[in-house]
Amino acid sequence: MALLLQGATVRNGATERLKKRIEDLTAKPHLVIIQIGDRDDSAAYIAAKKRFGDKIGARVTHVKFAQDVLQEEIIKKILEYNGDTSVHGIIVQVPLPEHLNKDGVIDAIDPTKDVDGLTAVNLKRLWENKPGAVVPATTRGIAELLRFYNIPVEGKRVVVLGRSSLVGKPTALYFTHRNATVTVCHSHTLNLLEETKKADIIIVATGKPGLITRDHVLPHQTVIDVGINTVQGKLEEEIEGKKIVGDVDFLGVEKIVSAITPVPGGVGVMTVLSLFENLLDAYETQHAI
Ligand code: NDP
């Protein structure tokens, strides 16, 4: 039976530490979350962020725009928050409606307030492994989970499934800097079975429920399931009335591998925690200036 890498356990341990860190600050760290449109999944992610922020004593402001909002209107709002010294972090919940230029919106965020680490400036810092690079929350969460469970990364073979700008690419880059040997797979990878079997750590971020099965894995491996998919039919878990599964066939794979993250309760929880770690780091950088 695999070791369960529980994000919830890490988060519970970190909550008191973050609370204490915030109590010692002169002002409350303040995160602004901008939501465009009314997607249910975005609303659920934002609610989770707000809940955790409240728990640790951070301030979270949720700003909503209509689905058909103009790009200029959002950018104007972001620029206002950039200039507001009571705001330490700004995130724009993705995905955005198609009529908006995602890069244009994200890059309007002041890089010192970009706690998702997704602006071009921060991605370049990450690319170059510069000190102070903001590691995107999901990537930081995965790294923190591995560290907590003493799973070594240096010199290991890490196979990342998915090459999105949000998860796959920054994760592959980050683990390259951590001296892992990294392979990136995507929808055109010819022999996924062969690639996943080369890994010590498999990180799956494809949005394809059940993509990774017992046939893809070996006993010494750690499997990190980033996927969050809402599915119909036979379901493994339910949260807040939504049925959530990962990209890994959990029941089949956990019988074989050495360690695995559950969905929910794994990487998703770590992403929220890491977002607030990034917010606190941003606060400290802004107050050190
Ligand atoms: P995207 O849709 O942007 O990217 C998916 C990636 O998976 C693409 O690179 C795609 O390849 C690749 N892919 C698709 N099918 C296959 C396949 N059969 N074999 C190998 N690779 C494949 O998704 P995201 O990166 O934004 O998100 C991925 C998943 O992670 C989603 O379920 C999302 O909900 C979840 N997520 C979870 C978070 C968390 O905190 N746990 C945070 C963010 C996302 P190609 O490039 O060729 O199209």
Residue closest by Cα to atom 30 of ligand 1: 227
212: CA distance to ligand 1 center in Å? 13
Which of 74, 75, 115, 119 is CA-nearest to residue 91? 115
pLDDT at 150: 98
- CA distance linking residue 276 with residue 255, whole number of Å: 33
Catalytic residue among 116, 200, 225, 249: 116
Catalytic residue among 93, 113, 169, 281: 93
169: CA distance to ligand 1 center in Å? 10
The DSSP annotation for 71-82 comes to HHHHHHHHHHHH
163: CA distance to ligand 1 center in Å? 7
- CA distance linking residue 169 with residue 161, whole number of Å: 10
Q: What is the mean pLDDT of each successive set of 10 residues along the chain, which is 289 residues long?
A: 95 94 95 94 91 97 97 98 98 95 97 96 95 94 98 98 96 98 98 98 97 98 95 51 84 97 95 97 88
Stated pTM of the model:
0.95
Catalytic residue among 6, 35, 49, 221: 49
List, in sequence order, every residue forming a beta bridge with 238; answer none if it has no partner: 243
- CA distance linking residue 40 with residue 62, whole number of Å: 15
pLDDT at 232: 65
164: CA distance to ligand 1 center in Å? 6
31: CA distance to ligand 1 center in Å? 26
Contact 247, 227 (CB under 8 A): yes
Query: Which residue among 39, 116, 187, 274 is best mutated to probe the pocket of ligand 1, counting the most ligand atoms within 8 A of its Cβ?
Result: 187
Contact 53, 276 (CB under 8 A): yes
Based on the residue annotation, tell me whether 28 is a catalytic residue of this protein.
no
Q: What order of strands is seen across the sheet that includes strand 181-185?
A: 3-4, 259-260, 222-225, 201-204, 157-161, 181-185
Contact 157, 22 (CB under 8 A): no
pLDDT at 236: 44
Q: Which residues have C-beta atoms less than 6 Å from ligand 1? A: 138, 161-164, 166-168, 185-189, 192, 205-208, 211, 226-229, 267-268, 271
List, in sequence order, every residue forming a beta bridge with 160; answer none if it has no partner: 184, 203
Residue closest by Cα to atom 1 of ligand 1: 164
pLDDT at 238: 46
Residue closest by Cα to atom 39 of ligand 1: 268
Based on the residue annotation, tell me whether 49 is a catalytic residue of this protein.
yes
pLDDT at 242: 58
Contact 183, 158 (CB under 8 A): yes
- CA distance linking residue 289 with residue 286, whole number of Å: 6
